[in-house]
Structure 1
Amino acid sequence: MTSVATTVDLTDPSFWATEDCHQVLRALRHAAPVHLIESAEEGPLWCVLSHQLASAVLNDATTFSSQKGSLLGAGKGKTPAGAGKMMALTDPPKHRDLRRLVMPFFTKSKAAELTPRVHQLTAGVVRAAMDRGDTDFVRGISTTTPLTVMCDLIGVPEDDRDHVVRLCDAAFLGDTAATRSAAHQNLLPYLFQLALRRRADPREDIISTLATHRIDGDLLPLEEVLLNCDNILVGGIQTVRHTATMAMLALIDHPEAWAELGARTCDSALAVEELLRWTSVGLHVLRTATRDVELAGRKIRSGDRVVVWPPAANRDETEFDAPTQLNLRRSPNRHLAFGWGPHYCIGAPLARVELAGLFTTLAHQAEHPGLQAPPRYNQSIINFGLDTLEVRLSPRP
């Protein structure tokens, strides 16, 4: 079977903000579950749109490697910095070894241990937002708790918190790409200095664990400590922030779902899974074929780049009943919002706790929110989200 080419550029961020993007994805998926597109910036890309094939690609790290990049953006023929050194850009066994190092900080039991802390932080954030009435959900609500919890886990000292929070706010919420990039570059030297301090005086935190780890007697290079801490920090904040913001927009559009959450007539754990499926903010996952292989009759050559698109897979009718309906009671719900296979999101248990704490608190305490201005979508092909979401929160009687 010959390859199917499409004129739809899935790597264009503006496509994902269109009202009919999911209808377009459905039509493409029905035509063929794998499409070849030619991106001006990225070159030829094999795009996987079905749930079955997406799961298969993500589960096979031997055939579909992360070593040459896990996300688009580096450009055609370019290998990103950190390749082979950070969890996201390594394959087993190194990926497994790095993951095992920090896994104790992200287990289900650790997430349960952190739940009271998450609820305390969330309660304060929601109370402050309710006092304001009108608030930007992005800056006023969605970021605070995940940022604070990640500082706890990484080991940022209390005396440094204000400084790191300012850097992270600018790195993640800056008004321009240049502002965000500059702030992120300022964050890296701080993490480097902290790693040096923790290598000499280790604590029970992520950066100490990485900074004191030895491989065959040699300490893990500081560059790899830095890259992996940065990767964990960004992932732990960005995924929750974008999911929370897009989930709030979904709940504004679906008042019946908000009422279910507020009345406790649905299980909060199931509700979070459905909000994760519905939003699917991680737009894509990149892999590189290590050998010639076939996907749905398409001949993928060794070295070809394969892109899984979770928003398409998570609305596949062959996996989900009525996928275009937001159903907070949906079960089972084998969504791919956190990925699949060896690279399944290490922070998923904590993210679930943070999202459940936020939306149960909000829905129990606030009337159905009102949208105060049209939401402003970001221009990212990595995490689809909003730059602003102006809402009005009024206390329930």
Structure 2
Amino acid sequence: MRREPAGHPPEINLVDPGLYAHGDPFVQWRWLRANEPMYWHPPTELPGFWALTRYEDIRDAYRDAETFSSAQGILLRPADHGADPGGGRTLALTDAPRHKQLRGLVDSWFAVRSVRALEAEMKDVARRVVDEALERGSCDFVADIAARVPLYVICKMMGVPQADWERLYTLTSQAFGAGDPAARRFAHLDILGYFEELQEEKAEDPGDDLVSVLATATVDGEPLGAEDVILNCNNLLVGGTENTRIAAAGGMLALLEHPEQLQRLYEEPDLMPSAVEEILRWTSTATHIMRTAVRPVEIHGRKVEPGDRVTFWLPSANRDETVFEDPDCFDIVRQPNRHLSLGFGEHFCLGSMLAKVELRLLYQELVSRSIWVELDGPTKLLDSIVVNGPELMPVRLMPGSR
């Protein structure tokens, strides 16, 4: 990589939520990749941490699970919040061998064969959601379209009765949305309470669904505890909805901002698989992922000690000039496209195939029916260092208007 001048660097503050809603974090990431790829970020209201911004460094760290642990949390959090309650207990927040054991309980549900078996039902969900949006004419693409498709699909897989889907839609909208932090916390607690009741029902009368699998599971000959079942249910709900919701909305925004790409997709719908991969690279909705070092390691001459937090800035990795040609260009026919948006190594996203199919079916529903989408007001981006993308995106849907 050609080194950019080290003088007059931008002010580096990766933990300012406003940077992602109103600023340009790529300026900071570009400078860090060129000048300080292993950067010590001083403490703010969050503890200090190392920041990795290059593709190869992040991929290597993902691969080295023996050095970089997930069990102490995968997101930056204020020290006074204490340890993450899911640490060492949920699929996302465990290391080997526990991670492999938990993943083995549900892996088959997200395999290619299982997802393909659900495809017809997912297509029906996408059609119903788009039909409802068409009836309204104007809607919020995030809440009314992008949020509903993955939520309804994961609810079905988890065995949530259809009568409760709207309740969980409301709760997840409150939990993931903006507004009063206390209201978000209460929504999260309500979600946990819902799964507490559901796992009790499934333990007594199991069905063919993910919650039943967890509620009746044993690990090392011991039943999975009720709290662990509840936390893993919440993990599956969040993992199965939040990032796909933001990627779907962010992808639509990217297509609207690059109308020549959208027009090409309407004209060549066979490009949909590569378009989905480019949308995942471009949106990179998980802004950072954290690991905790459990043994000393040296990266770019910087010594990392046990207990140090090391963060992976995925949008930066997915714009790395040494890996992606013209990385700041949105190109739906980009090949190759080995982005890290869905992770890498043993923590590669469990629902990666599901997410790609959901995105494909949603966009196909719009393209195959020649439904045109246009912005109907200003888009509001999320004020967050955890996930990035549209929070509010007013649009109008017009049938046969291509």
TM-score range, shorter chain: over 0.9
Preserved CA contact (<8 Å) 2:379 2:392? yes
Compute the displacement of 1:262 (Å): 1.0
In 1, the alpha carbon distance for the partners of 2:217 and 2:95 equals: 19
For residue 71 of structure 2, the aligned residue among 67, 71, 88 is 67
Compute the displacement of 1:159 (Å): 4.0
Q: Which runs of 5+ in 2 are unaligned?
A: 1-8
In 2, the alpha carbon distance for the partners of 1:142 and 1:209 equals: 28
Whether 2:318 is the aligned partner of 1:318: answer no
Whether 2:106 is the aligned partner of 1:102: answer yes
Closer/same/farther in 2, CA of residues 324 and 330 from structure 1, 3 Å limit? same
Preserved CA contact (<8 Å) 2:291 2:311? yes
For residue 274 of structure 1, the aligned residue among 253, 256, 278 is 278
Q: Which runs of 5+ in 1 are unaligned?
A: none
Compute the displacement of 1:121 (Å): 1.0
Preserved CA contact (<8 Å) 2:372 2:399? no
In 1, the alpha carbon distance for the partners of 2:249 and 2:282 equals: 12
Matches within 5 A, 1:350-365: 350-365=354-369
1:214 is aligned to 218
In 1, the alpha carbon distance for the partners of 2:259 and 2:163 equals: 42
Query: Alignment RMSD, CA only?
Result: 1.8
For residue 124 of structure 1, the aligned residue among 124, 128, 132 is 128
In 2, the alpha carbon distance for the partners of 1:283 and 1:154 equals: 27
Percent identity of paired positions between Structure 1 and Structure 2: 38
For residue 208 of structure 2, the aligned residue among 198, 204, 207 is 204
Matches within 5 A, 1:10-49: 10-18=14-22, 20-49=24-53
In 2, the alpha carbon distance for the partners of 1:391 and 1:226 equals: 36
Deviations 1:74-129 (A, max 9, x none): 43793211211111111011001101101111111111111111111111211222
1:223 is aligned to 227
Closer/same/farther in 2, CA of residues 191 and 77 from structure 1, 3 Å limit? closer
State the TM-score, normalizing by the size of structure 1. 0.94
2:3 is aligned to none
In 1, the alpha carbon distance for the partners of 2:249 and 2:17 equals: 17
Preserved CA contact (<8 Å) 2:20 2:384? no
Deviations 1:315-372 (A, max 9, x none): 0011111101111111111101111111111011000000011112223434553222
1:340 is aligned to 344
Whether 2:61 is the aligned partner of 1:53: answer no
For residue 396 of structure 1, the aligned residue among 392, 396, 400 is 400
2:181 is aligned to 177
State the TM-score, normalizing by the size of structure 2. 0.93
Runs of 4+ with deviation above 6 angstroms: none
Compute the displacement of 1:230 (Å): 0.4
The alignment of Structure 1 onto Structure 2 pairs a total of residues equal to 393
Whether 2:243 is the aligned partner of 1:239: answer yes
Deviations 1:20-55 (A, max 9, x none): 322331122111221111131222110000000000
Closer/same/farther in 2, CA of residues 24 and 240 from structure 1, 3 Å limit? same
